[in-house]
């Protein structure tokens, strides 16, 4: 999931860059299956900000199949990580399904994937198992897995997980690596929250037993952030960091649900409001 609770401000981006990234949006959903759309994504940026040198020369060979379940609001965001993820993987290995509610009647393929014993869903919680421990203790890495990742803000992802019963069938896993997000042009709730691409990169490197996958997938993300920062974007610290350092300058929420979410963030990370 793109671990962000705040939209990326278009005002932080050079107008030319905004126009270019908006063009990429048009090919995102199709790029899940590779083909011409992926090549369009590769060629959609001008030379000075071209991501081609940072993409793998050929799609990464992986046995794991990703299913990115994307909240519709993500489609309208200017900068997203899923198009980069899809471009780096072979045809059929990164399937993007957009929606809020999913039923067996309307989404039979997704329902079948959810009921497959080889399927894992990447979602934190008390029932989640550490993916690395699961691979190490149960030899899970020897199986060709499906991995479902919910792409949206944390509140959107939580809502989608709770209200779609089919997502409760797969084994629930989470990542326990203490990694800081490299997606610095979008605000994260806490210091350990990762973008969808970063979650996929860690999961694939663990399941495929290949740490190089993580490095290869993060390369274009780091380049994208670097280009955006060079063209006027600002580094977005996490809410946790802003609250801890007294830099959070927005008014505290008045909505009860948002107040509860903020209180949980403060409690989870032992933050004292200033």
The pLDDT score that the predictor gives to residue 13 is: 36
CA angle 210, 88, 37 (to 5 degrees): 160
Separation CA 201–CA 196 (nearest Å): 9
The pLDDT score that the predictor gives to residue 155 is: 87
- In this model, does residue 273 exceed pLDDT 50? no
Separation CA 153–CA 6 (nearest Å): 8
Is pLDDT larger for residue 31 or for residue 170?
A: 170
Q: Taking the model in full, what pTM does it have?
A: 0.69
The pLDDT score that the predictor gives to residue 52 is: 83
Separation CA 121–CA 167 (nearest Å): 7
Confidence of residue 119 (pLDDT cuts 50, 70, 90): very high
Instruction: Please report, for the chain, the start and end positions of each structural domain, with discontinuous segments joined by +.
Output: 10-230, 239-268
Q: In whole angstroms, what separates CA 157 from the centre of its chain?
A: 11
Strand 129-130 relative to strand 171-174: parallel, antiparallel, unpaired? parallel
Is pLDDT larger for residue 228 or for residue 71?
A: 71
Mean pLDDT of 42-49: 56
The pLDDT score that the predictor gives to residue 227 is: 61
Determine which of 109-118, 130-139, 141-150, 232-241 has the lowest per-residue pLDDT on average: 232-241
Cβ-Cβ contacts under 8 Å for 194 (sequence gap 6 or more)? 3, 175, 179, 181, 183, 188, 202
């Amino acid at each position: 999931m793109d671990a962000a609770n705040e939209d990326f401000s278009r005002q932080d981006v050079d107008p030319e860059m905004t126009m270019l990234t908006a063009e990429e949006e048009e090919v995102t959903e199709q790029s899940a299956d590779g083909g011409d759309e992926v090549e369009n994504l590769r060629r959609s940026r001008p030379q000075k900000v071209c991501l081609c040198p940072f993409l793998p020369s050929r799609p990464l060979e992986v046995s794991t199949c990703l299913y990115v379940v994307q909240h519709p609001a993500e489609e309208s965001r200017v900068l997203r990580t899923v198009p980069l993820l899809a471009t780096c993987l072979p045809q059929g290995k990164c399937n993007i399904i957009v929606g809020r509610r999913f039923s067996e009647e309307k989404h039979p393929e997704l329902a079948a994937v959810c009921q497959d014993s080889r399927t894992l869903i990447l979602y934190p919680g008390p029932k989640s198992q550490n993916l690395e421990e699961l691979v190490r203790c149960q030899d899970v890495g020897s199986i060709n897995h499906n991995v479902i990742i919910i792409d949206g803000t944390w509140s959107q992802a939580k809502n989608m997980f709770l209200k779609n019963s089919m997502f409760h069938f797969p084994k629930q896993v989470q990542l326990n690596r203490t990694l800081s997000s490299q997606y610095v042009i979008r605000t994260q709730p806490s210091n350990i929250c990762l973008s969808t691409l970063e979650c996929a990169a860690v999961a694939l490197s663990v399941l495929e037993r290949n740490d190089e996958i993580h490095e290869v997938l993060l390369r274009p993300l780091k380049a994208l952030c670097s280009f955006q920062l060079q063209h006027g974007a600002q580094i977005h610290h996490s809410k946790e960091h802003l609250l801890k350092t007294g830099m959070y300058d927005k008014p505290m929420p008045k909505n009860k649900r948002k107040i509860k979410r903020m209180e949980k963030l403060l409690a989870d990370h032992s933050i004292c409001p200033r």
